[in-house]
Structure 1
Amino acid sequence: MKRYPSSLLLAFAVAFCNMGAYRSSKLVVALFAAHLGADAMDVGVIVSLYALVPLMLAVYAGRITDRLGMVGPIVGGTAGVVLGLLVPWLWPGLPGLYVSAGLLGGSYVFYHVAIQKLVGTISTPETRSQNFAAYSMVLAVATFVGPLVFGYSIDQVGHPRTYLFIAAMALTTIILLLAFKAVLPARARSGEEHGGPVFDLLANPGLRRALITSGVILTGIDLFSFYLPIYGHQIGLSATVIGRIIAMFALASFVVRVAMPRLVAMSSEERVLGWSLAVSGGTYLLFPFFTDAWILAAIAFVLGLGLGCGQPLSMMLTYMRAPPGRSGEALGLRLTVNHFSHVVVPLVFGAIGTAFGLAPVFWINAAFLAGGGFLTRRRA
């Protein structure tokens, strides 16, 4: 069994707590909004707030990380996440959900850029692919555990108190990092040389492809995270059952990430990404045709197999192809691309869902993913 350095284990523990809290908040906000009578357009606007603020801050967060190191942005960003999670507990209504979503998105981006760079900084060229794969598996476990636990919590104690429990999970991140900060290498606590216009990064075709692919993949993941709960609510599934269906997606993501290094070795990064998008597009076509929870869980599992390996591959390629001293900025640019799609897509799909129902939301996204897979395979 591979032994990881203590610094990387600390990064994994921090990532587990923060990702579990963040992903769980997306489940809770969708169900809480539906409980309060919000329609698909309302949910689409709330979803877009998770991405609108980080859209404007992601590159800046990357530059701050390059300049100051990773510990400060992780702690500061997580503190903002905790505050955002407390808002619906203190202010349980749709206005509170709007404020919470914006605060969560704006705070999480500082943590998100810094933790990705931390994994890359700790790694050597020989261990980087394995470490990013392991990091992505930690995220998959957190995404599995969070909705499973907090979906059950909603049924037992309600939405506002569940937000309080999620905030406690995020707070654990700060406690861990401050208690064990000494195990991190010095370069993780200090900055680097930096400079140059951000658009210079787009001159690298490999980096540019990684950015585009990442945006396509995360669009599929986010639409699943937000619209599967709405669909489940419409067909009468409980929050616990919906949480279990989402957890199956996370379980499949974990399984495929275990096999990801071997898949890449047998083919190439671009071909694996292309097939993952094609499989995901085909899977999205199936959701509106079924209401049985077991079948929906099986479909979610296949979707997780399709989308699960795309994130770590695009993340790793972004870090590796960034100019020296600008890896944080490149990762921030990756998040900017992701969040641009997060802002636009929920608003567009929210309007479509309100006007025509949820089935076209799934089908149009299927075409989007399949088209991205075709273009990616052509580049391979």
Structure 2
Amino acid sequence: MRLWQLVALTILAHTAFNGSRMLVSLYAIHLHASAFTVGALMSSYALLPMLFALSAGRLVDRSGARWPLFGASVAVALGVLLPFVWPRLQTLYVASTLIGTGFMVFHVAISQVVGAIGRAEDRAANFSWLALGFSVSGSIGPLVTGFAIDAIGHVRTFLLLFLFPLPPLLLLWLNRPALPQAKERKADAGESRVMDLLRSRALRRVFIASGLLNMAWDLYAFVIPIYGSRIGLSASTIGAVMGSFAVATFAVRLLLPLLIRRVRPWHVITAALSISAAAYCLFPLFTSVPLLVALSCALGIGLGCSQPMVMALLYNTSPPGRQGEALGVRTTVMNASHTVLPLMFGALGAALGMFPVFWAMAALLGAGAYFVSRRRADG
């Protein structure tokens, strides 16, 4: 299967995933859920991925990507269909768990396949194209979801999102075109060897930077629907604001393949953390839609340029034959923060309002930028 075909499958699956995050939040708010409940729902997207990402990575290393991708697409499709069939708040917990777990497996598997294409020096560019696909679906998901909610309501919008994972399901079932087969690995890869990955200084730096950047990405999807609802924005306007974030990530990733050989990955990651910290610091100071769009674009540029660099660094510094496992460790670290932070920030938002939520995230990102810049200086 060629790179553009992998990107196309990713766009379809991620549109359902990304649209569902906004839809679940807004539907829960429509059902009069508190900020803490919305945070719990967002944590449900990450709980099982936190527990099983490492196993998913090992499965992909051992058996190849086709059937993990197929099973993941089934889980995403069922997850977005459930609230249409049983439209109640309790169903959203099951749906968010299914969607989050399914897309975690999809992301680990598709990243492993993309990393295996071409030479080591091509990986940053390949991951840039994959990230560009995520930006396309990141734009489509909120825009389609927001306008669909205003036009046909929350429940029918779940049915609309159900259509997106169906083409990947069909293509993966038929295996047309064929995915690469799994590579041979040594038989002595035990549970304890996870510590080998964590002992690597280079990999630890990547895991920490990746965790912080993904926290910033994930929190955006959590706080903007709540903040937008509190300042009186419609669902379509919230979707447009969130869509501008994705458009910005698309624009910067469109340029990345041209710039990738001229910039150092760690310089880009430090700049991304700094820009994201500044954006989160400014968000709660404004209610004007144009200014929220501008801040979303700034955040999108910062986060959008960092992910391909992180993925290329992770793949290149991982031991041979264990790239899927390293991706699983990264996903575990990432989802551990995704599980805890929405609950913590949801409780904080319910008790003190949204200002402390934005500024706490800004402080974490600023500290991360300082840490990464110091480690970079130390070599």
TM-score range, shorter chain: over 0.9
Q: Does 1:216 align with 2:209?
A: no
Q: How many corresponding residue pairs?
A: 372
Shift of 1:357: 0.4
| 1:271 and 1:376 in contact (8 A); partners too | no
Residue aligning to 1:3: none
- Aligned amino acid, residue 149 of structure 2: I
The alpha-carbon deviation at position 177 of structure 1 amounts to 2.9
Match in the other structure for 2:6: 11
Find out whether 1:141 has 2:155 as its counterpart.
no
How many angstroms apart in 1 are the aligned matches of 2:253 and 2:41? 30
Q: TM-score, normalised by structure 1?
A: 0.95
8 Å contact kept, 2:49–2:335:
yes
Structure 2 alignment gaps of length 5 or more: none
The farther-off stretch of 174-183 and 70-79 is 174-183
Give the structure 2 partner of residue 335 of structure 1: 331
Distance across 2 between alignment mates of 1:262 and 1:370 = 28
Shift of 1:127: 2.2
Q: After superposition, where does 1:48-197 map in structure 2 within 5 Å?
A: 48-179=43-174, 181-184=176-179, 188-194=180-186, 195-196=189-190, 197=193
1:111-132 residue CA offsets vs partner (Å, 9 max, x unmatched): 1110000101123224222111
Counterpart CA distance in 2 for 1:261 and 1:367 is: 31
Alignment of 1:156-305 (within 5 A): 156-179=151-174, 181-184=176-179, 188-194=180-186, 195-196=189-190, 197-261=193-257, 264-305=260-301
Shift in Å, 1:191: 4.5
SS of 1:122's equivalent in the other structure is coil
Give the distance between the partners of 1:27 and 1:155, measured in 2 at CA: 13
Letter of the structure 1 residue corresponding to residue 184 of structure 2:
E
Q: Using the alignment, how far apart are the partners of 1:103 and 1:68 within structure 2?
A: 22
1:368 to 364, 370, 373: 364
The whole-number CA distance in structure 1 between the counterparts of 2:279 and 2:183 is 43
8 Å contact from structure 2 (residues 124, 260) kept in 1: no
Distance 1:82 1:32, change over 3 A: same
Cα separation, 2, equivalents of 1:373 and 1:265: 22
Report the CA distance between 1:202 and its aligned residue.
Answer: 1.1
Code of the residue aligned with 1:98 in structure 2: it is Y
Deviation at 1:260, TM superposition (A): 3.1
Residue 180 of structure 1 deviates from its aligned partner by: 5.2
Distance 1:36 1:104 in 2: 20
**Farther off after superposition, 363-372 or 188-197:** 188-197
With the length of structure 2 as denominator, give the TM-score of the two structures. 0.95
Distance in structure 1 (CA, Å) of the matches to 2:154 and 2:121: 45
1:323 lines up with 2:319 in the alignment:
yes
SS where residue 323 of structure 1 aligns? Answer: coil
Q: Which segment drifts farther, 312-321 or 94-103?
A: 312-321
Q: Where does residue 33 of structure 2 map in the other structure?
A: 38
Contact conserved, 1:74 with 1:110, CA < 8 A, in 2?
yes
Runs of 4+ with deviation above 6 angstroms: none
Q: Which amino acid aligns with 2:316?
A: M
